[in-house]
Amino acid sequence: MKVGVAFGVSELANPKSFEKKASEFLTALAGDFDVVGGFMLSSKADFREAKEELNFNEADAIILYPLTGGTEGFLKEFFVFRRPTVIFGDPFNNSLAAGIEIREFLRERLVPSTLVKDMNELKAALLAYEDSLETLEPFLRARLGLIGRVSPWLVNEKFELPYTRISLKKFYEYYDKVSDEDGWKVVEEIFERASEVKEPGKDALAKAGRIYLAIKEILRDYRLDGFTIGCFDLIGKLNATPCLALAMFNAEGIPAGCEGELNSLLGMYIVRKYFDKPAFMGNVADFGENYIILAHCTAPLLWRYRLRSHFESGIGVGVDVEFPKEKASLFKVRGRRAVVAGVDVVGNEHLENRCRTQVKLRIEDASEFLDGTLGNHHLLAYVDSEELADLLSELGFEVMLY
């Protein structure tokens, strides 16, 4: 097991006073692990130099040893590598106090983190991470992208995991390279398979196809595993929406979220990567004693569907998808917290004053679930709720299972 090591010493302390302790620590560790690094850091500048010298992404795990207090501000920077991390603290020089602070910083960013205070505990923690790497790796290595911006009404959106930002200016460069003819070709079969096409004409469908092809090139060039897009900002510029493109990507196995919401994208990615299932991202449109209705203008194109306009704007191409009646999970992640509930999909509605896809879910005590949830957008996926909750816990989320 390859382990990257870094020590932290406050700028107020003398690093030479800790060289013997650090050397003995490395020697003890090297008997069981392939140790790399061993840097003594006292500032963010030192961290940047260490980052240039050694690629900690190649380590299976990282050990951070704050030899003194006052080291939190630069040792926390190791979160960018998203490697399982063990923080070693000792009873002297405020080492443990700094370790606790660093551990919580990492956990808030969903980096698996453990605090230990002796060598036996350290070795056990590393071996435990080694055993779980097969599960953790797809999550920690995810490459997620945001095209445009997070929609301003998502007032609870907070996302501190690394992601790739692609400006709308860059998106439009890709879009302008795609012809209407190529856009139409990529959606022509979708048009023919639809049970009904109500509002969209060929021009709107061609634009939807151009959006799909532009994003497809972005995914390839930026090597993304999934993306979300600030979709409403496209309306004024293109007189179009990406709803159909997102529906196509989610049917193809690529997690695709709307409104620029990264937390929902992360949840969609988890379900796809670990269960090979798509997730429907929807608004809570209504609820009663034992039901919730989710609605949105995009959904995976896997079942019977109609092509409509986008609800709020009345333009572009939205989808009205018929979800099968089966058991499923309703869930939401935000930060390091998650809520999960087992539900039954019991029907679909088609009211004109809601987003186009409308799914009715049976859930025990809907008001209790909504009182404890973490914001509006929720994800619906045909996976077992207990299995999903267990997985989210293993990935570092604090889960409430209803």
The structural domains of the chain, with segments of one domain joined by +, span 2-135, 144-401
Using CA atoms, how far residue 196 sits from 190, 204, 211, 266, 300, in Å, is: 11, 15, 22, 32, 17
Q: What angle separates helix 119-140 from helix 19-30, to the nearest 10 degrees?
A: 70
Residue 235 is predicted with a pLDDT of 93
Residue 92 is predicted with a pLDDT of 96
pTM of the model: 0.94
Provide, rounded to the nearest whole percent, the portion of the chain with pLDDT above 90: 100
Residue 292 is predicted with a pLDDT of 98
Residue 150 is predicted with a pLDDT of 96
Q: How confident is the model at residue 347 (pLDDT cuts 50, 70, 90)?
A: very high
Residue 310 is predicted with a pLDDT of 96
Residue 364 is predicted with a pLDDT of 94
**pLDDT, mean of residues 105-122:** 96
Q: How confident is the model at residue 159 (pLDDT cuts 50, 70, 90)?
A: very high
Using CA atoms, how far residue 221 sits from 193, 243, 254, 373, in Å, is: 30, 22, 15, 36
Backbone angles phi, psi at 357, to 5 degrees: -85, 125
Q: How confident is the model at residue 9 (pLDDT cuts 50, 70, 90)?
A: very high
Q: What is the pLDDT of residues 216-246, one digit of tens each?
A: 999 999 999 999 999 999 998 999 999 999 9
**pLDDT, mean of residues 288-307:** 97
Backbone angles phi, psi at 198, to 5 degrees: -90, -65
Q: What is the pLDDT of residues 375-384, one digit of tens each?
A: 999 999 999 9
Inter-residue long-range contacts of 342-346, CB under 8 Å, 24+ positions, other chains counted:
342/384, 342/385, 342/386, 342/402, 343/292, 343/380, 343/385, 345/380, 346/291
CATH number for domain 2-135, candidates 3.40.50, 3.10.20, 3.40.1130, 3.30.110? 3.40.50
SS3 for 397?
coil
Q: How confident is the model at residue 248 (pLDDT cuts 50, 70, 90)?
A: very high
Q: How far apart are CA 158 and CA 160, in angstroms?
A: 7
**pLDDT, mean of residues 73-81:** 97
**pLDDT, mean of residues 307-330:** 97
Q: How confident is the model at residue 21 (pLDDT cuts 50, 70, 90)?
A: very high
Are 216 and 183 in contact by the 8 Å Cβ rule? The answer is: no
Residue 396 is predicted with a pLDDT of 95
Mean pLDDT of the chain: 97
Are 363 and 290 in contact by the 8 Å Cβ rule? The answer is: yes
